[in-house]
Structure 1
Amino acid sequence: MRIGIANDVPMAAEALRRVIAATPHHQVLWIARTGLEAVRMCAENRPDLVLMDLNMPELDGVEATRRIMDESPCAILIVTGRPQDSVNQVFRALGAGALDVTATPMLAGQAEGGGQLLAKLRTMEKLIRHSGGSQAMLPRATAAAPEHKGPGVQSLVAIGASTGGPVAVATILAGWRAPPDCAVVVVQHIDENFADHFVKWLADQLVMPVRAIEHGDKLLGGTVMVAKSNDHLKLDEKLQLGYDAVPREYAYRPSVDVFFRCVAQHWRQDAIGILLTGMGRDGGEGLLALRQAGKTTVAQDQATSAVYGMPRAAAELDAAQLTLPLPKIGPFLRSALGGR
């Protein structure tokens, strides 16, 4: 991959350059010392991937990400000192279009930090390749099962999101208390090392309780339940939630397609599937499986998507009954399901 580095700290930029130079698969295209310079360099010489720091002069990483995604869209990985100390900034950057986040390797401890960064680069390369370039991914559907009811849960909202998803999820659920017989499950493409931070951040944005899903959990009414593993979230015939590494070849982990198809196969009650902003094609075929199973399906529109990849895949398959701008998805949920 051709990689741009946006970091104003010389030692950090050099650590990133050395990690990239140590592998024949990647090359450093340029190094920007300010956010504004990163925006300009993306416009002049667009890379496959930008390694974006959060704190830079002239324009911080959040605004630089927003500008790049508006003017010269490309894949962006947030690489910053201690991501856990900048949770709000991280999720603002993810909402602006960044794909993921990882810690900056230090020159002194490059064996460990460099290995983590290279693993992220392999994942990014796979996502970009499967997307057909800098922006836009694919799997299949299944059949029916005997009727089961969750303990008190009669309706389910299944939400899938990727690039720009954290802010989009918070927007549609803000201020709403789902009815006690309605469960909300969120599958957001995010590294498991940062999933707990996402849960805490989302809980700060919402009035509903938010919890990470543990293997073996049952659906909980009136609660937002969030996938927290790099393995795929599944719902089995006993309506029990769990994680599974299979299918291993899927670039997106956890896969929205996998969970949506499980809901289509095993959930016999009312359900609404919502596919939000995201790079690639994950979720399109799963949303189609939900529609074919008689569930209500919604996709975010192009104008309000940070990246119109996943919703576009749903549109191409005619998987969404409704295509709505982000500000109208929350009101639609309230009118369809009630609650406070």
Structure 2
Amino acid sequence: MRIGIVNDVMLATAALRRVVAATPGHETAWTAATGAEAVQRAAADPVDLILMDLIMPQMDGVEATRRIMKQSPCAILVVTSTVTGHLDMVYEAMSLGALDAIQTPVLGLSGNIDGAAALQDKLAIIAKLIGRNGRAPRVNGAAAVTALTEEAPLVAIGASTGGPQAVSEILQALPADLPASVVIVQHVDEHFATGLAEWLSRRCARRVLPARQGDRLGAGKIFIAAGPDHLVIESNGRLGYTPEPKESSYKPSVDAFFMSAARRRGMRGCAILLTGMGRDGADGLLTLRKAGFHTIAQDQKTSVVWGMPKAAAEIGAAVDVLPLPAIGARALRAIKELHP
């Protein structure tokens, strides 16, 4: 990939250049010290990926992300050392089109770069998403169905690029006494997932919990994937994490969670696939539709990136393809039809 680096700290830029140079198949195309300069360079010399800092003079990374996604859209990864006290900026940038966020690698006294491996892992994931036309490996949906369940209905939500804001709007449309559990799988680094749960809690005035191993689903509960592996519903009906499928382009995988829900025989509810790059969740949504779930995909007009929901629409996975403002109400109606 050709990569643009946006950071006003010379040492940080140097560290990022070294990480890119040490990663086969990637090169630094240009660097920028301000958001305004990044907007200009992105338009003049389009790249595959931009590593975007947040706090910069003249124009911050949030505004730069907004302008780039509007004028010269490309993959953007927020890379910042200013996480504490600025989490809202991280999720705002992700709502505007940034794929994910990671802490800036640090050049150590010994010459080693702390955090280099984590960034290289992110580069590999993004290269898969954009280098294979967004076609992630398919997840096997043929596993055995678990026992019949009388659990509360489930609202399963999958999202990626632009997802935080979209998820927030849907949660705001669902009442506090919703007779269903809600589980969100958002493509986000595990280190930012707990902060995202807090951010969503403030936005929807309801408690969004980071999902932990062994958590029990229940009406009115809202969970978000927050581990290093894939969030799934295990055979005992509780939430858990698994490294499988290892070949999945993203952790957590929307497909992995959707498939696990489909294996809970008798479980019903509504599954929603929102804005995002690639096709994660499309196959899982189709499997859930076949299992009796009402399935919804976000439409092109209201998606920041119409990749994942488009893939779902193309294979007939979505009963409804709707604009974002209509999805929450439709999901609520689907749940009420199960619990009149």
What's the TM-score, normalizing by structure 2?
0.91
1:2-32 residue CA offsets vs partner (Å, 9 max, x unmatched): 1101122223222222322334432110011
Name the residue aligned to 1:306: 304
Q: Distance in 1 between matches of 2:120 and 2:101?
A: 13
Partner of 2:321: 323
Match of 2:122 among 120, 123, 127: 120
Residues 55 and 82, structure 2, Cα contact 8 Å, conserved in 1: no
Q: Where does residue 250 of structure 2 map in the other structure?
A: 252
Counterpart secondary structure, 1:149:
coil
* Residue aligned with 2:113, SS: helix
Is 2:139 the counterpart of 1:137?
A: no
Deviation, structure 1 residue 300: 0.4
AA paired with 1:322? D
SS at match of 1:266: coil
Q: Distance in 2 between matches of 1:144 and 1:120?
A: 33
Higher mean C-alpha displacement, 326-335 vs 17-26: 17-26
Take 1:220 and 1:205, find their aligned partners in 2: how far apart are those partners? 21
Of 254, 266, 278, 1:280 maps to 278
* Alignment equivalent of 2:205, drawn from 204, 207, 210: 207
Instruction: Give the Å deviation of 1:199.
Output: 1.1
Deviation for aligned residue 1:86: 1.0
The alpha carbon displacement at 1:84 in A equals 3.4
Task: Report the CA distance shift for 1:161/1:34 in structure 2 as closer, same or farther (over 3 A).
Answer: same
Q: Show the counterpart of 2:234.
A: 236
Residue 87, structure 1, aligned to residue 87, structure 2: yes
1:178–1:337 Cα contact (<8 Å) kept: no
- CA distance, structure 2, for counterparts of residue 186 and residue 170 of structure 1: 11
Is the 8 Å Cα contact of residues 84 and 197 (structure 1) preserved in structure 2?
no
Paired residue secondary structure (1:30): strand
Name the residue aligned to 1:55.
55
Alignment CA distance shift 1:136-1:31 (3 Å): farther
Q: 2:106 aligns to what SS in structure 1?
A: coil
Q: For 1:315, give the aligned amino acid.
A: A
1:15 aligns with 2:7: no
Length-normalised TM-score, structure 1:
0.91
**1:216–1:242 CA contact under 8 A, matched in 2:** yes
**Is this contact kept in 2: 1:94–1:163, CA < 8 A?**
yes
User: Runs of 5+ in structure 1 lacking a partner?
Assistant: none
Alpha-carbon distance, 1:216 to partner: 1.5
Distance 1:49 1:114 in 2: 17
Corresponding residue for residue 219 of structure 1: 217
The one-letter code matched in structure 2 to 1:291 is R
Whole-angstrom CA distance in 1 between matches of 2:105 and 2:251: 23
State the shift of 1:58 in Å. Answer: 3.3
Call closer, same or farther: CA 1:211–1:103 in 2, change over 3 Å: same
Instruction: State the shift of 1:102 in Å.
Output: 1.3
Work out the CA distance in 2 between the residues paired with 1:232 and 1:17: 31
Given residue 148 of structure 1, which amino acid in structure 2 is its aligned partner?
A: T
Aligned partner of 2:131: which letter? R
Question: Could you give the per-residue CA deviations for residues 252-295 of structure 1, whole angstroms, max 9, x where no partner exists?
Answer: 11111111111112141431000001110000010000111121
1:72 maps to 72
CA deviation string 1:164-199 (max 9, x = no partner): 111110111115334353100101111111111111
2:136 partner letter: M
Q: Report the equivalent of 2:103.
A: 103
Please give the alpha-carbon distance, in whole angstroms, between the structure 1 residues aligned to 2:188 and 2:300: 22
Cα shift at 1:136: 6.6
Question: Which runs of 5 or more structure 2 residues have no equivalent in the other structure?
Answer: none
**Counterpart Cα distance in 2 of 1:124 and 1:295:** 30
- Counterpart of 2:54 in 1: which secondary structure? coil
Measured after TM superposition, the shift of residue 163 of structure 1 is 0.9
1: distance between equivalents of 2:192 and 2:88? 12
Partner Cα separation in structure 1 for residue 146 and residue 124 of structure 2: 38
| Equivalent residue number for residue 263 of structure 1 | 261
Distance in 2, Cα, partners of 1:160 & 1:233: 11
Letter in 1 for 2:127: E
Contact map agreement 2:69 2:96 (CA 8 A) in 1? yes
Letter in 2 for 1:6: V
Post-superposition shift, 1:247? 1.0
Q: Which residue of 2 is the match for residue 296 of structure 1?
A: 294
Partner of 2:150: 149
CA distance 1:250–1:286, shift in 2 (3 Å)? same
**Partner AA of 2:195 in structure 1:** H
Q: Counterpart amino acid of 1:335?
A: R
* Off by >4 Å, runs of 4+ in structure 1: none
Identity of aligned residues (%): 48
